[in-house]
Structure 1
Amino acid sequence: MSDTTYVQEYNAVLETLAKYIEGCAKAEGSLMRPAFHPDAVMFSAADSAVIRVPVYDDLFDGIDNDFKPSTPSSAVVTVDIVGNVASARVDSDDVDGFRFSDFFHLLNADGQWQIVAKTFYTHPSTAS
C-alpha cells in the first residue's frame, strides 16, 4: 500500500495524544511539547469568562510547576479525521487530583499530526 489509510492516520493521531497524556501523568511539560504546534492556543471558561492560555508560555510551565506525577486513567473518547484535520476528545481522571475533559484540534502538516488548539473543562471536585 502506498496511500496512507484512515487506520494509519487514526493511529498517528493517537500517538500525538499519547504524548499529551504521558506529560500529564508524569507532570513533565517537555513530554507533551512535541504534540503541540508552536503557535497552539488553549481556551477554557471560568466564571462565565473565556480564558485564553498561551500553550508555550503557560501549559508546559504549569504542568511542570503546579502538578505532581500521578496515575490518571485517560481515555480517548472520540477521534474524527477529515483529510489533514482532526478533532479528538480525551477524558482523564485523577491528573494530580483533577478530572478533565480536553477537546483538541489537530492538523497534519508534512506527515506529522500536531495539536493546534485545546479547549478543556475541569470537572468539579467530588471531595467533601
Structure 2
Amino acid sequence: MLERNIPQKTLESWKQIAAYLDRSERTVRRWEASEGLPVHRREHEKQDTVFAFRHEIEAWSRLRTRCSGTPATEAEGLPRANPSSNTYLLEHDAITRTMHCYIAGARAGDGDLMRPAFHPAATMSGYCQGVEYSGSIEHVFKWVTENGPAPNINPRFARIEIIESIAVVHLEVQRWSGKLAGANARASDVFTLLKCNGEWKITHKLFHWHDQ
C-alpha cells in the first residue's frame, strides 16, 4: 500500500490510484465517472495521462463514507484522514455543509431554506431551454419555491476546488421534478464560494439545464 496522508503528493496513474484505494482500476474509473472521484488529466498529443492529489482523495473518501446511502461494504477500507492534521479537509467539509444547505432547499422546494448558503450579494446566470438568465440570486429562491418539492433529486459533487479563501464547486443534479422543472430533469451547476467571517458562502451560481 502506498503511503497515505501526505498533502500535495500525487498519484501518477490509474494503477497507483487504485492501489491507494485498495480497489481495482475498473472500480476507481467507475467512481470517477459516477461519484466524482477527483482525478485530473494532463493532455498529450497521443493520449492523456491521469493523476490525483492524495489530499483530495482523502477528502473525497471521508465525504463518501459519511454520505447516507453508501453501502458499508464499499465504505470499508477507504482511507480516512485526521481532520485536525489537514486544514484542507476541514475546509472541504465546511464547503460541503454549505452546499448541502442549498441541496436541502432544492429538495424541499423552499427558497428560504437555502438562503443561508448564499452571500447577501450573490448572483446567478445560466441557460434554460436555450434562454439566457442572469441577475440576483433572489430569482433562484423564487423559482425554487414556485417549483415546489423535488424529493427525488440526485446531486453529485463532480469537483470541489479550494484556493485559500475561495472555492469552486461543480454539482451535477439529476431527477429534478416539480411544477416548473417538469419530470426527470437534469442540471449542471458551477458555484463560486467565498470564505466570509469564517463561513463559506456561495457568491455566484452558474447553471445549465439540459434538454430532455
TM-score, normalization: structure 2? 0.54
Write the mapping of 1:1-128 to structure 2, written as runs, cut at 5 A.
5-45=87-127, 50-56=132-138, 58-96=139-177, 97=183, 98-125=185-212
Aligned with 1:62: secondary structure? Answer: helix
User: What is the count of residue pairs matched by the alignment?
Assistant: 124
Aligned partners of 1:74 and 1:47: how far apart in 2?
20
**More strand by percentage:** 1
Q: Residue 106 of structure 1 contacts residue 115 of structure 1 at CA under 8 Å; is this kept in 2?
A: yes
Gaps of 5+ in 2: 1-82, 178-182
Structure 1's unaligned 5+ residue stretches are none
Q: CA RMSD in A?
A: 2.1
Residue type of the partner of 2:115? R
**Percent of aligned pairs sharing the same letter:** 28
Distance 1:113 1:4, change over 3 A: farther
Structure number with higher helix proportion? 2
**Counterpart code for 1:9:** E
Alpha-carbon distance in structure 1 between the residues aligned to 2:135 and 2:176: 19
Rg comparison, structure with higher value? 2
Change in 2 beyond 3 A, CA 1:6/1:99 = same
Q: Which has the higher contact order (CA 8 A, sep 6+)?
A: 1
